[in-house]
Amino acid sequence: MERILIAGCGDLGTRLGRLLAADGHRVWGLRRDPLGLPSALEPLAADLTRPDTLGALPAGLTLVFYTAAAADRSEAAYRRAYEDGPRNLLAALAAQGQSPRRVVYCSSTAVYGQEDGGWVDEGSPTRPQGYTGQRVLAGEGWVAGGPYPATTVRLAGIYGPGRTRLLEQVRRGETRRPEGLPVYTNRIHSDDAAAALAFVARLPAPRRLYLAVDDEPVDRATLLLELAGMIGAPPPPSGPAEPGRGGNKRCSNRRLKAAGFRFRYPTFREGYRALAGELGLLGGGAASPHS
């Protein structure tokens, strides 16, 4: 049985924690307000930006995940969540003489600044255009340079239960299909995101870096059209592309799949269909144009 800490245990961390607890491990969920965590997780109230609150981590941790997110969109919040937090946590672990076998840092494909719609993978250069990607990338550096074996998982845009904004916007007719060249979007269902984090931690010899993204980067225009078809909403009208919307790249999951990971929702079609079904939105009845 492992002793596992999930630092910043929100939506993704909780999904991950449930998977690990179901494997028979002891799992602590750390957040400032841990009261709502499910009973499978042991709550740990602490603030990753305040070292004085990190003094009594559970002893003998064997595995640590870092899944905290910024509290708001400001650069200061990103710095706190992705730099101060990991740095403080690593220092606290070291000060307590802990020796986890691995620290898994949850990062983002926002660390890529590519704009040409080409493929990127773990070997591609990272030149994030905005401070969000820059701060997340800096956090990768803190964890990779820390005292413990580290693996970074760069997640694409997460959707799933509770993350239904795009589907709702399509339903309300609030989206526009970008005109011109394809603008790619990279996605992963939250269940697959949590499963991917658990998967890499279970590998006997994980690599230092994985991209976690589904099989099909899809251009935004196609995505919106297919979602509209799926829920029987009118096709979104076309309009000028919104500039700088998360870059324009296609993220490859080849390394993760080569390691043996299998997606429950290999593309947005399976994932959004499940989500739309849960929300009772499939009643529009219209099948996606390509299914």
Ligand X SMILES: NC(=O)c1ccc[n+]([C@@H]2O[C@H](COP(=O)([O-])OP(=O)(O)OC[C@H]3O[C@@H](n4cnc5c(N)ncnc54)[C@H](OP(=O)(O)O)[C@@H]3O)[C@@H](O)[C@H]2O)c1
Tell me the closest approach of the beta carbon of residue 8 to ligand X, in angstroms.
3
Q: Using an 8 Å Cβ cutoff, are 58 and 29 in contact?
A: no
**Which one among 22, 71, 95, 287 touches ligand X, defined by CB under 6 A?**
71
- Span interacting with ligand X, options 41-49, 96-104, 225-233, 270-278, rule CB under 6 A: 41-49
DSSP H or E stretch at residue 28: strand 26-31
CA neighbor of 143 nearest in space, from 38, 79, 66, 74: 66
Nearer to ligand X, 13 or 236 (CB): 13
Q: How many Cβ atoms sit within 10 Å of the Cβ of residue 75?
A: 13
Q: Kindly tell me which of 26 and 32 has the beta carbon lying closer to ligand X.
A: 32
Residue 9 in contact with ligand X, rule: CB under 6 A? yes
Determine if 47 is a binding residue for ligand X (CB under 6 A).
Answer: yes
Which stretch in 155-163, 197-205, 227-235, 237-245 sits in contact with ligand X by CB under 6 A? Answer: 155-163
Stretch that binds ligand X, among 24-32, 215-223, 224-232, 278-286 (CB under 6 A): 24-32
Shortest Å distance, C-beta 39 to ligand X: 17
Q: State which residue, 26 or 163, has the beta carbon closest to ligand X.
A: 163
Please say whether the beta carbons of 166 and 227 come within 8 A. Answer: yes
d(CA 276, CA 101): 39
Q: How many CB atoms lie within 10 A of CB 124?
A: 16
Q: What are phi and psi of 245, to 5 degrees?
A: -85, 80
Interface pick for ligand X out of 6, 54, 106, 233 (rule CB under 6 A): 106
211 binds ligand X (CB under 6 A): no
With a CB cutoff of 8 Å and minimum separation 6, the contacts of 49 are 80, 84, 85, 88
Smaller CB distance to ligand X: residue 6 or 282?
A: 6
